[in-house]
C-alpha cells in the first residue's frame, strides 16, 4: 500500500451537521462537523415561487435548499452523508410540530416545514423561530456564553427578542414570546407596517432610523450633513454621520437607544437577566446604540447588580450555530426519551 493510500484509508468517514438560517432576502447554509466546527458556509437568495394560495407549499424553494445542502456537504468532504439538520425560520414557528405558522414576509402560513425538508434530506429536521435560534447561538458560543438568564434582541429591518430564563428558552403559549415589535411607544407617531402608529419597530429598526433621518432632512430649521446625500439616508448613512460628529444623526441614535432602553427596563424588571445581547445590523452601531440603553436601565433599575448590555459576537454565524445546536439538543432529547 502506498503512503497516500494508507493515509486515505485512515480518514474516518465524516457526517455533515447542517445549520440553516432562512431570511427574507438570503438563506445561509452552514456545514459543521460533530463538534460544531464550521466546515463550509454559503449564502443563497431566498427565491420564492409565486404562490397562488398562501397555503401552497414552497416546493421549489425546498428542492433548491435540498440541492444546495447536499452540494455543500459534498464540498465539505462529508462522505458519510448528513447527520441532522436544524433551521431558523422567520415569523411564528411551532417547533414541536415543525411548522412555519405565519411567516408573512415569505407568504408562508401553516407550512409543515420540518416534515417537508426531512423527507427531502432523509434525516431529522428541527425548526424554530430565527431569533430564538440566533439567541441560542449567541448563548452557546457568543456574547451570552456563561449566562443562564439572557435577553437577546435583533435589531435590523425589524426588531424581535428571545428570552432565556434559568438556562431554558421561553417559547410562550403560542410560541409568540419575544414579539415586541408592535408594542406602542408613548408619544411616537411614525406609521408601522402593521398600520398602527408609534410601534417600537417604527423607531427601533433600520427603516425607523431612515425615516427619522428623512424627516429631519425635510425640516428647514434642522442643520445636518445628511441633507448633502441627495437621497433618503439609510441607517448606515445615519451611523456614519453620527460617528463624524453630526449632532442630528447622534440624536437619532440616542432616541432609538432610549426607546429601546425604556422597553428593556420593563423586561429587565420582570426577568432579572444577567445579560442583554443586542444583535442584527443596527447593533453594528455599537455604543451609539448600547450606551443610551445602558444609561436608561442603570438610571431606573433598582437592583444593585445591573445586567451586562452586550453587542452580539457571532454575526450571521449565530443563526447557523444556533440551528445546528438546536437540532443536536433535539436529537439528544429524543434518544433519551427512547432509552427511558
Ligand atoms: Zn406595528
DSSP string across 318-340: HHHHHHHHHHHHHHHHHHHHHH-
Give the C-alpha separation, 292 to 250, whole Å: 11
Ligand 1 centroid, distance to 202 Cα (angstroms)? 7
200 CA to centre of ligand 1 in angstroms:
7
Quote the CA–CA distance of 329 and 39 in Å, as a whole number.
20
**Measured in angstroms, how far is the CA atom of residue 276 from the centroid of ligand 1?**
23
Ligand 1 center–CA 180 separation, angstroms = 9
pLDDT of residue 87: 97
Q: Which of helix, strand or coil describes residue 34?
A: coil
Ligand 1 geometric centre to CA of 158 (Å): 10
List the grid coordinates of 337: 426519551
Distance CA 220, CA 196 (A): 28
Cell triple for residue 271?
Answer: 426577568
The runs of H, that is alpha helices, within the chain are 3-10, 59-75, 113-121, 130-141, 206-218, 235-243, 247-271, 287-300, 317-339
Question: Cβ contacts of residue 161 below 8 Å, gap of 6+?
Answer: 131, 151, 152, 153, 154, 178, 179, 180, 267
CA of 324 to the centre of ligand 1 (A): 32
Name the one residue in this structure whose C-alpha cell is 432576502.
25
Render pLDDT for 34-51 as a digit per residue (tens, 0 to 9). Answer: 999 999 999 998 866 554
Q: Residue 49: what pLDDT?
A: 55
Q: Please choose, from the candidates 190, 126, 118, 181, the residue with its C-alpha nearest in 3D space to the C-alpha of residue 154.
A: 181
Polymer length of the chain: 340
pLDDT by residue for the chain (340 residues), tens digit each? 444 444 444 456 799 999 999 988 889 999 999 999 999 999 998 866 554 454 567 888 899 999 999 999 999 999 999 999 999 999 999 999 999 998 877 888 899 999 999 999 999 999 999 999 999 999 999 999 999 999 999 999 889 999 999 999 999 999 999 999 999 999 888 888 888 999 999 999 999 999 999 999 999 898 999 999 989 999 999 999 999 999 999 999 999 999 999 999 999 999 999 999 999 999 999 999 999 999 999 999 999 999 999 999 999 899 999 999 999 998 777 766 666 5
What is the model's pLDDT at position 7?
A: 46
Ligand 1 centroid, distance to 109 Cα (angstroms) = 19
| Alpha-carbon distances of 21 from 25, 36, 43, 315, 323, rounded to whole Å | 11, 15, 9, 12, 7
**Ligand 1 center to 304 CA (angstroms):** 34
Position 9 scores a pLDDT of 46
Spacing of C-alpha 233 from chain mean position: 24
Distance CA(193)–CA(157), nearest Å, equals: 11
Any idea what the Cα angle at residue 197 is, between residues 92 and 222, rounded to 5°? 125
Distance CA(258)–CA(264), nearest Å, equals 10
Which triple of cell numbers denotes residue 105?
414576509
* Residue at grid coordinates 425546498: 62
CA 196 to ligand 1 center in whole angstroms:
5
Strand-pairing partners, residue 133, are: none
Q: How far is it, in rounded angstroms, from Cα 13 to Cα 177?
A: 41
Q: Please give the distance, rounded to the nearest whole angstrom, from the Cα atom of residue 267 to the centre of ligand 1.
A: 19
Separation between Cα atoms, residue 228 and residue 242, nearest integer Å: 14
DSSP 304: S
Using the mean position of ligand 1's atoms as its centre, give its distance from the Cα of residue 297 in Å: 24
Amino acid at each position: 500500500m502506498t503512503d497516500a493510500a494508507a493515509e486515505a484509508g485512515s480518514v474516518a468517514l465524516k457526517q455533515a451537521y447542517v445549520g440553516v438560517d432562512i431570511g427574507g432576502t438570503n438563506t445561509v447554509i452552514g456545514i459543521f462537523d460533530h463538534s460544531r466546527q464550521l466546515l463550509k458556509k454559503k449564502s443563497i437568495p431566498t427565491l420564492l415561487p409565486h404562490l397562488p394560495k398562501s397555503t401552497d407549499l414552497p416546493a421549489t424553494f425546498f428542492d433548491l435548499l435540498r440541492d444546495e445542502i447536499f452540494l455543500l456537504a459534498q464540498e465539505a468532504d462529508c462522505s458519510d452523508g448528513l447527520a441532522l439538520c436544524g433551521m431558523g425560520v422567520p415569523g411564528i414557528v411551532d417547533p414541536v410540530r415543525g411548522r412555519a405558522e405565519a411567516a408573512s414576509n415569505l407568504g408562508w402560513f401553516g407550512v409543515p416545514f420540518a416534515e417537508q425538508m426531512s423527507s427531502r434530506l432523509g434525516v431529522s429536521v428541527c425548526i424554530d423561530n430565527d431569533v430564538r435560534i440566533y439567541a441560542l447561538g449567541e448563548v452557546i458560543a457568543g456574547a451570552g456564553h456563561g449566562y443562564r438568564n439572557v435577553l437577546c434582541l435583533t435589531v435590523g429591518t425589524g426588531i424581535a427578542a428571545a428570552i432565556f430564563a434559568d438556562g431554558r428558552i421561553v417559547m410562550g403559549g403560542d410560541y409568540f414570546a419575544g414579539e415586541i415589535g408592535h408594542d406602542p411607544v408613548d408619544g411616537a407617531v411614525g406609521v408601522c407596517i402593521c398600520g398602527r402608529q408609534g410601534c417600537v419597530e417604527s423607531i427601533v429598526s433600520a427603516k425607523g432610523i431612515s425615516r427619522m433621518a428623512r424627516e429631519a432632512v425635510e425640516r428647514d430649521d434642522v442643520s445636518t450633513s445628511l441633507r448633502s446625500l441627495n437621497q433618503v439616508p439609510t441607517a448606515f448613512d445615519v451611523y456614519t454621520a453620527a460617528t463624524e460628529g453630526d449632532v442630528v444623526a447622534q440624536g437619532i441614535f440616542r432616541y432609538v437607544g432610549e426607546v429601546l432602553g425604556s422597553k428593556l427596563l420593563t423586561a429587565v424588571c420582570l426577568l432579572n437577566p444577567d445579560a442583554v445581547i443586542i444583535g442584527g445590523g443596527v447593533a453594528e452601531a455599537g455604543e451609539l446604540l448600547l450606551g443610551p440603553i445602558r444609561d436608561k436601565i442603570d438610571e431606573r433599575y433598582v437592583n444593585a447588580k445591573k445586567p451586562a448590555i452586550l453587542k452580539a459576537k457571532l454575526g450571521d454565524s449565530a443563526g447557523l450555530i444556533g440551528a445546528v445546536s438546536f437540532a443536536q439538543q433535539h436529537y439528544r432529547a429524543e434518544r433519551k426519551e427512547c432509552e427511558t
